[in-house]
Copies of this chain bind each other. A is one copy, B any other.
Amino acid sequence: MTADPFALTDDLWGLTNLPYAVASAQDWSPQVVSRLGGHVVGIAGLAAADGHRKWARAWSTPSLNAFLEQGPSSWQAARRWLQQLLSDDRRRDFVRPHLRPLDAVELHLAVDVADYVDFYASEHHATNVGKIFRPDGAALTPNWKHLPIGYHGRAGTVVVSGTDIVRPVGQRKTPADAAPQFGPSVRLDIEAEVGFVVGGETELGERVGVDRADEHIFGVGLFNDWSARDLQAWEYVPLGPFLGKSFASSLSAWITPMAALKEARIALPQQDPQPLPYLRGLEGAFGLDLALEVRLNGTLVSQPPYAQMYWGPGQMLAHLTVNGARLRNGDLFASGTVSGPEPQQRGSLLELSWSGSEPIRLEDGTERSFLQDGDEVTITATAPAVGGGRIALGEVSGRILPARD
C-alpha cells in the first residue's frame, strides 16, 4: 500500500515548496506537474476540474513555457490556489485522483530552453580558476568586480537530470605537446551551479532594471555545467568556452518557484568597488541562501554555499539586458560554479583537485582528479522555507558514458 500522500514527515517537499516539473505517466501525456512529498500532483487535471482553464491549458503542454508567458500575477495566483487546495482537508478526495507516486512517472526537461547564458558569479571560483589557468597573471581579470561576466551556451544541449552524459572528444594541447592531440577528454569535470528560469518576453532594445527581477525570474533549478577542461583550455582564447561546454549541461527536473525562496533571500556580500547604478537595486540586488551538496559515486565531495556568491541573479538579469537584448519565455541563465572560501566548498573538480595536483579520495578508496567513465555525480540543495524548516531543491544528476568511436 502507498502511504497517505498527505502525511508528510518533513517540509522538504511540503506545502511551502510546490516546485514544478514536466512529467508523463501511463495515463498522462507529458505535462506540467507539481509535487507533494513522494507524490506528483497532476495540476493540469486539477486546475481543469476546479475551473481554472487558463492554468489548465498552460499546464497541459509538455513544457513550462506557456505558464512562464502568463507572468508573475498568474504565477502567484496559481501558487496560492494550489497551496489552499492541498492544505484543505475537505478536498482530499477531490485531489487524490490527480496524484501519482513519484516512481510511476517519468520526468522530462521542464523548460523549452530559448537562450542559455552562463555567468561566472562566484569570486572564489573565479579566483581559483584564474590562479590555475593564468598562474602568471592576476587571478581576477580587471572587469570582474565591475560586471557579472557571462557568455552564451548551447540551449539545445541542456538536458534533464538523469540523462547519461557521453564523454566528449575533441582537440587538446598542453604546453608540452608539439601539436594538438585528438581524442576523448581526459579532464572531464563538473560545475555545480544554480540555474534561473525566465518568463515574460521583452522587446528588442528594452532593458530589464535590476528591481524588475521578480517580474521575470520565475524559479531556480540545480544545474551541472559539465566541462571538458582540456578542450576548454586549448580553445577558449580569444572567444571563450565553446566545445568544452556545449556537449551537455544538466538541469534538475524540478524548478523551484522564487516564491518558495522568499525566506532564502539575503543581502549580497559587500561589493567593492560599488557597481554602476544599473547593477544596484533596493529589491533586485539580492542573494540566496542555498546550501548545495555535491556527491560523486555517493561520496559527499563538496558543500558549496550559494550565499557567498558575489553577483546576485537580479544583477545578472539587469546586465544581460542592459544592451537591449530581449528576453523570451524559457530563457535560462546559470550562476557559474558555486564555490565558497573553504577547500571543501569548491564546486568543480578542477578546484577540488587543484587541477589534478591534489586528487580527492572517495569512500570506496579510489581517487579522482577528474571524472572516470561510469562515475555518477549528484548535486542537491536545501533552502530555508517560508515559515520555518527547510525545503529541497530538485537534484541534478548524471552518469558518464564512455566516448563514442
A: residues with CB less than 8 A from B are 114-115, 117, 120, 133-134, 141-143, 146-147, 149-157, 159, 163, 166, 168-171, 173, 179-180, 182, 204-207, 228, 231, 234-244, 246-248, 273, 276-278, 319-320, 322-328, 331, 401, 404
Contacts and interface: CB of A to CB of B under 8 A. Distances in A.
A240 to B, nearest CB: 2
Main secondary structure on A side of the interface with B: loop
Contacts of A134: 238
A319 B331 CA distance: 26
Given A151-B239, A180-B146, A404 B171 contact: no
Given A151-B151, A180-B146, A276 B171 contact: yes
State how many copies of this chain the complex holds. 2
B239 A238 contact: no
B235 A238 contact: no
13 contacts: A143-B180, A152-B153, A155-B155, A157-B326, A159-B204, A182-B277, A236-B238, A236-B240, A240-B241, A243-B319, A243-B320, A243-B322, A243-B323
A235 B147 contact: yes
A238 B325 CA distance: 21
Shortest beta-carbon contacts, A-B, top 8: A240-B240, A166-B205, A168-B323, A152-B152, A151-B239, A247-B323, A243-B323, A239-B240
B235 A149 contact: yes
Nearest to A248: B204
A157 B325 contact: yes
Contacts of A404: 205-207, 324
Contact of A331 (B156, B159, B171): B156
Nearest to A141: B237
Contacts of A244: 323
A152 B154 contact: yes
A325 B170 contact: no
A187 to B, nearest CB: 13
A149, A153, A401, most chain B CB atoms within 10 A: A149
A325 B179 contact: no
A222 to B, nearest CB: 20
Given A151-B240, A238-B240, 7 more contacts: A114-B155, A133-B238, A141-B238, A143-B180, A180-B276, A207-B404, A231-B323
A150 B170 CA distance: 14
A173 B141 CA distance: 13
Contacts of A141: 237-238
B325 A156 contact: yes
A325 B234 contact: no
Nearest to A149: B239
A324 B156 contact: no
Contacts of A117: 242
Contacts of A182: 276-278
Nearest to A233: B143
A90 to B, nearest CB: 46
Contacts of A147: 171, 180, 235
Contact of A246 (B152, B205, B238, B242): B152
